[in-house]
Amino acid sequence: MQQRYRLAAVVLGAALVAAPAMAQEVYVFDAKHTTPTFEVMHIGFSQQRGLFGSTTGKVSIDRTAKKGTIDVSIATASLVMSQALQNLVKSDEFLNVEKFPTMTYKSADLVFDGDNLVGANGDFTMLGVTKPVALKVTSFKCAPNPFNKRPMCGGEATATLKRSEFGMKAALGAASDEIRIAIPFEAAREPS
Q: pLDDT tens-digit profile of 82-118?
A: 999 999 999 999 999 999 999 999 999 999 999 899 9
Rounded to an integer, what distance in angstroms lies between the CA atom of residue 68 and that of residue 153? 14
Looking at residue 2, its pLDDT comes to 52
Q: Where are the domains of the chain?
A: 22-189
Residue with the bigger pLDDT between 1 and 26: it is 26
Looking at residue 10, its pLDDT comes to 40
Task: Give the pTM.
Answer: 0.86
pLDDT tens-digit profile of 122-151? 999 999 999 999 999 999 999 999 999 999
Largest CA distance in the chain: 85
3: pLDDT confidence band, cut at 50, 70 and 90? Answer: low
Q: Is 22 helix (H, G, I), strand (E, B) or coil?
A: coil
CATH 2.60.320.10 fits 22-189, yes or no: no
How far does the chain reach from its first CA to its final CA, in angstroms? 34
